[in-house]
Structure 1
């Protein structure tokens, strides 16, 4: 051994093959890998940092043309000059300018907001007279709700359901890792003040004076402190208006030494206001999956007024854990908040979908590992297969630990990266173990020297092959745009796994092979002859003619080139469909309804209900929610496309939930594709001007 150049690989193996630190390293690797699985946040999709900011600039009394010319165009230019800006566009409406600014992917949200605020505040003098101060609302992926609870009743009014939802929302907000909660739907309570102009004239009052008096009466302000018996008591002046009588008795003026009350100049009524939106829930053929029986639907109908509570989690928290905590909190408080005639349906649970995706990929990972071990066992032997199999969980454990340290989450892309690299990461261990196996059978050296020499012999080619694969994968990590951070876990995780597989192949695999294979090799008396093995004889018969005869050699190369050209040509003939990502079999999709501007809320509701009646007949549907005049709980696609800003009487969304993909034959994409023309036909039959689109959750970022 003294005359043999062991190289990097041989010297590493020589240090660790008999070291007591090697089994400790193996044990520590497995333990930190298990810890990483428990501690790393689980999500369905990778976290993509895309700082998006909505800037609302009110300009009361101005037309859309004026808003565009005086506000939108001017501030678009100013915002575009900010460092790190990806794109800026605006929407100009009468009395309002909405400027949407999106920074480049990966920009720090806090830094981006500081730059944006500085630019806006330093250019306030460029606002036209009458324009109000900009309202800046940042949005990012953590604003996407992971849980949606829809409250509905066959007896209660939307106003009553909303009041119950408010109480429930306050309780759910107490969950530690919940960030935002908001309520969609339901009527809000308002008092109508119907001014009598003749009475105003009698008291010499203007409408503006009455408005100011009501505002002043609906205030509570600190009024100092009172000290008594060495104790300080805070004093507040004023009170908020709580009842209709409080509003009626607001003093709006003093006339001839007597107070003039609001009821003297106006009629105050607690009457229903014109609804601004409608929210309904309905059920499909698989309503039982949501706890609604067919008997209940036959007795009470299939569509009910509803209110939805949308709940988002804090940044960096585990979607699975947060969703479970929210539902546990709901179970704890529902008996004290919910009346018996108010029902709750979980209409979105991204925690569950993330856990299901994680479990599914872990199962496929286990199947892949089992297949690799069985194949190695059939070709090399049971003990050799066991030695190689040690490298798989060790490498994966170390990779997952690095993911935890670097802030990656466990999602379908990171887990796919591990499955993708499984065949690659065992290559190093297979090469090393096979060569050790061969040298032990050759009996040219003692077992320890043979194992070290075997690693040294294949060490440099193994290192070169590993870093060649890493060099081929890493450029994908530098892809820009939304696809960059979405796909980045694949090259990063694959490269980390390949590097650790090389370390394991030089440290743990020789140690395990030496202690497990040496006794069997020492017992064998016959010298191993490679030429007598079946594998060698078959390989020799195939390759020998290609080496001995030039005609056969060139014919073989020509055949390979023709097959390669034919494979590439299939892209041009579209014999093979090329897609960046396959369709994902989600259990949800969305119907977006756009009516012409000026369409009434009731007409939009009529079209939407007609579509919903058809959706209720689709075999795979469990439930659907109609959001008419307001936006539905948005997903990441809706976040980027700003679906959450959809408001007005001419817009509607329908959120459709399907049974689990394992319980249906059609994939969600097939359902959406086949039902699209039928849904559009139903809408056109009710109103030919209806514009209906089917929106699926994209398999990747909405680019």
Structure 2
């Protein structure tokens, strides 16, 4: 054996083929895979680091045109001087300018924000002197809520629901993995002073004086220290308003020697604001059993939104939140308040991962069956064990290098499944052939020679595939981190496949297969119909040069036609938005997914009052309630809804105006309906187009 020169593959097999370390390697790999599956965070999409921030600069009293000239243009110029800024866009409103800054994907978040703060505050003198100090708020993907809990009721208004939600919010903040949490919708508690002009005049108190006295009564400050009994004592003025009675008893003047209190010249009310600048409602759809059981189909509603901390498992965090909500329902939430989970990204991530795991398991079974039919039971078992071992190594690498289990991670495993079995199958097939005419004493030599024989071409093919996917590192922008699980996992999987093929497969073959159990593969088997069919097709191209040239030209032409198919999509007889022409292939970055939720946005002309915007939203709701695939929807008028990933990058979460609205629609689960979300959107668009036509200047969009 020493006279034989082995390549790298042969040397690996020669060492591990009869080594006791091999079984330890197998156990260690499976243990690593188990730890990875149970400990690696699960989420629907890969983690993408996109540093960004919103910059707010207020100039009270300025029109939108003045804001654009005096604030927005200089601010955008300052931002443009910062390196590594991908893009920025600004909005000028009355008294306010907002600039959204997005840095290049993958940039360090802290460094990017420090650069932004330093540049903006260092160039403060380029902004108007009477402009307020810039407010910079970071935009973080992890700030997107993974769970939203909506409270709705026929018997409680949005003010009462808001107070319940605020109490729930306090309980949610004690969750260790919970991050940004807030309540969306509802009116806050306020103490409102409604002055009576006649009584003010009777007592000789002006409105300005009354206002100044109220403000002066709501202050607190440190006055200093004094020494008492040999000890320093701090002296404070504690004048903050603690109750509505404190406001009522505020002194605003003196009339004929009598003190005049606020309650003498005004009505003091403790409660919600009377003027509504924002509205939020909830309604069950036809797909929910509670549909049409309420007197009013749309109920007042508020929403509690909870995000998770970076690196935490969205599935675990979501389950903890739901458990806390259930606990609160038992403790203090009234029975006639509907508690609806309107967003659960943890469940969505878990469903996506489980679906792909199921598809992965089915693919493994198919590979096992094919190997079983082609080689035999023992050989199929060896390949079948190799597959989960390779996947365990890959998931272990994901765990060690900080990747999460998400759709792209599992898609990369499915993508590589057809390739990762190549090396184990080629190795076991050649060992199978070498075992035909050997004695038991020569099994190790036959095993090493079998792998040594096919090692070099197997290595070349494997590393060629690895290089193809490693070249995707040249991607830039958002696709780079999004597709990184594929770029990382496929090469790791392929490398793991050759290691398993050279370490584990020969070891199992030597343990399980017997000498003489293999069979010699004949070059031509006249009894094999598949063999005969293949030869009848391939022989003309091998023996006849003209046939080979014709085949070569045909392949080149078909390749050219295939490359032209995407360009053919631009030829559409019905216009840009119409159907494609015959044989055209539509292009897209990713296939359209069958979602369980859609979002409808409404933008009216800027002069539209909130009552008119609300009227349009109600008409949209009337259409939605007729759709059998909708289980519920929630509408926000005068503000954007709870932010999602798309809205975060578009800056849609900060929209607040009487002319904007948003409707979040939840569909029945995709496993319980025949139509996809794409089909449902196509059905809704013509119906919503009628509403848009009825209100000139309105823009209704459906976002999936």
Same fold (TM over 0.5): yes
Judged with a 3 Å threshold, the aligned counterparts in structure 2 of structure 1 residues 233 and 176 are, in CA distance, closer, same or farther, namely: farther
Mapping of residues 447-466 of structure 1, within 5 Å = 447-466=443-462
Q: 1:673 maps to which residue?
A: 682
Query: How far is the alpha carbon of 1:424 from its aligned partner?
Result: 0.9
Query: How far is the alpha carbon of 1:299 from its aligned partner?
Result: 5.0
Judged with a 3 Å threshold, the aligned counterparts in structure 2 of structure 1 residues 485 and 242 are, in CA distance, closer, same or farther, namely: same
Mapping of residues 208-357 of structure 1, within 5 Å = 210-221=210-221, 237-252=237-252, 260-263=260-263, 266-270=266-270, 272-288=273-289, 292=290, 294=291, 297-357=292-352
Q: 1:649 maps to which residue?
A: 658
Judged with a 3 Å threshold, the aligned counterparts in structure 2 of structure 1 residues 660 and 15 are, in CA distance, closer, same or farther, namely: same
Mapping of residues 487-636 of structure 1, within 5 Å = 487-517=483-513, 519=514, 521-522=515-516, 531-532=524-525, 534=528, 539-574=534-569, 575=583, 576-636=585-645
Does the 8 Å contact 2:49/2:105 carry over to 1? yes
The CA distance in 2 between the partners of 1:230 and 1:499, in whole Å, is 78
Q: 2:578 maps to which residue?
A: none
Q: 2:478 maps to which residue?
A: 482
Structure 1 unaligned regions, length at least 5: 697-703
Mean Cα deviation higher: 228-237 or 317-326:
228-237
The CA distance in 1 between the partners of 2:134 and 2:540, in whole Å, is 80
The CA distance in 1 between the partners of 2:275 and 2:137, in whole Å, is 28
The CA distance in 2 between the partners of 1:538 and 1:613, in whole Å, is 63
Judged with a 3 Å threshold, the aligned counterparts in structure 2 of structure 1 residues 633 and 427 are, in CA distance, closer, same or farther, namely: same
Q: Secondary structure at the match of 1:626?
A: strand
> CA offsets per residue over residues 322-346 of structure 1, 9 Å max, x none?
0000000111121222112211111
Judged with a 3 Å threshold, the aligned counterparts in structure 2 of structure 1 residues 234 and 477 are, in CA distance, closer, same or farther, namely: farther
Does the 8 Å contact 1:178/1:313 carry over to 2? yes
Does the 8 Å contact 2:48/2:106 carry over to 1? yes
The CA distance in 2 between the partners of 1:110 and 1:343, in whole Å, is 41
Does the 8 Å contact 1:376/1:385 carry over to 2? yes
The CA distance in 2 between the partners of 1:321 and 1:233, in whole Å, is 50
The CA distance in 1 between the partners of 2:231 and 2:594, in whole Å, is 66
Judged with a 3 Å threshold, the aligned counterparts in structure 2 of structure 1 residues 219 and 619 are, in CA distance, closer, same or farther, namely: same
The CA distance in 1 between the partners of 2:522 and 2:649, in whole Å, is 65
The CA distance in 1 between the partners of 2:423 and 2:201, in whole Å, is 94
Judged with a 3 Å threshold, the aligned counterparts in structure 2 of structure 1 residues 425 and 236 are, in CA distance, closer, same or farther, namely: farther
Q: Secondary structure at the match of 1:174?
A: coil
Q: 1:692 maps to which residue?
A: 700
> CA offsets per residue over residues 228-258 of structure 1, 9 Å max, x none?
9999998764253243332122234678987
Judged with a 3 Å threshold, the aligned counterparts in structure 2 of structure 1 residues 489 and 64 are, in CA distance, closer, same or farther, namely: same
Q: Secondary structure at the match of 2:190?
A: coil
Q: 2:577 maps to which residue?
A: none
Q: Say yes or no: does 1:658 pair with 2:659.
A: no
Query: How far is the alpha carbon of 1:531 from its aligned partner?
Result: 4.5
Query: How far is the alpha carbon of 1:214 from its aligned partner?
Result: 2.7
The CA distance in 2 between the partners of 1:10 and 1:88, in whole Å, is 57
The CA distance in 1 between the partners of 2:268 and 2:534, in whole Å, is 97
Query: How far is the alpha carbon of 1:198 from its aligned partner?
Result: 7.7
Judged with a 3 Å threshold, the aligned counterparts in structure 2 of structure 1 residues 558 and 79 are, in CA distance, closer, same or farther, namely: closer
Q: Secondary structure at the match of 2:2?
A: coil
> CA offsets per residue over residues 258-310 of structure 1, 9 Å max, x none?
7553345544344751111111111111112xxx3x5xx34523211111111
Query: How far is the alpha carbon of 1:501 from its aligned partner?
Result: 1.1
Mean Cα deviation higher: 60-69 or 477-486:
60-69
Does the 8 Å contact 1:52/1:102 carry over to 2? yes
Q: Secondary structure at the match of 1:522?
A: coil
The CA distance in 2 between the partners of 1:253 and 1:114, in whole Å, is 51
Q: Say yes or no: does 1:377 pair with 2:393.
A: no
TM-score, normalisation: structure 2: 0.91
> CA offsets per residue over residues 329-388 of structure 1, 9 Å max, x none?
111121222112211111111111111101100000000111111111111211111111
Does the 8 Å contact 1:442/1:528 carry over to 2? no
Mean Cα deviation higher: 66-75 or 94-103:
66-75
Judged with a 3 Å threshold, the aligned counterparts in structure 2 of structure 1 residues 678 and 233 are, in CA distance, closer, same or farther, namely: farther
Does the 8 Å contact 1:477/1:487 carry over to 2? no
Does the 8 Å contact 1:477/1:492 carry over to 2? no
The CA distance in 2 between the partners of 1:201 and 1:154, in whole Å, is 43
Judged with a 3 Å threshold, the aligned counterparts in structure 2 of structure 1 residues 513 and 661 are, in CA distance, closer, same or farther, namely: same
The CA distance in 2 between the partners of 1:206 and 1:15, in whole Å, is 98
1:469 counterpart (455, 465, 469): 465
Does the 8 Å contact 2:52/2:113 carry over to 1? no
Query: How far is the alpha carbon of 1:397 from its aligned partner?
Result: 0.8
Does the 8 Å contact 1:284/1:619 carry over to 2? yes
Judged with a 3 Å threshold, the aligned counterparts in structure 2 of structure 1 residues 468 and 229 are, in CA distance, closer, same or farther, namely: farther
The CA distance in 1 between the partners of 2:525 and 2:4, in whole Å, is 29
Query: How far is the alpha carbon of 1:218 from its aligned partner?
Result: 2.7
Query: How far is the alpha carbon of 1:456 from its aligned partner?
Result: 1.2
1:358 counterpart (339, 344, 353): 353
Q: Say yes or no: does 1:640 pair with 2:649.
A: yes
The CA distance in 2 between the partners of 1:141 and 1:325, in whole Å, is 21
Q: 1:103 maps to which residue?
A: 103
Judged with a 3 Å threshold, the aligned counterparts in structure 2 of structure 1 residues 285 and 197 are, in CA distance, closer, same or farther, namely: closer
The CA distance in 2 between the partners of 1:343 and 1:229, in whole Å, is 60
The CA distance in 2 between the partners of 1:628 and 1:5, in whole Å, is 78
Does the 8 Å contact 2:154/2:294 carry over to 1? no
Mean Cα deviation higher: 557-566 or 186-195:
557-566
Query: How far is the alpha carbon of 1:622 from its aligned partner?
Result: 0.2
Structure 2 unaligned regions, length at least 5: 570-582
Q: Secondary structure at the match of 2:516?
A: helix
The CA distance in 2 between the partners of 1:624 and 1:481, in whole Å, is 34
Does the 8 Å contact 1:167/1:337 carry over to 2? no
The CA distance in 2 between the partners of 1:98 and 1:527, in whole Å, is 76
TM-score, normalisation: structure 1: 0.92
Q: 1:132 maps to which residue?
A: 132
Q: Secondary structure at the match of 2:639?
A: coil
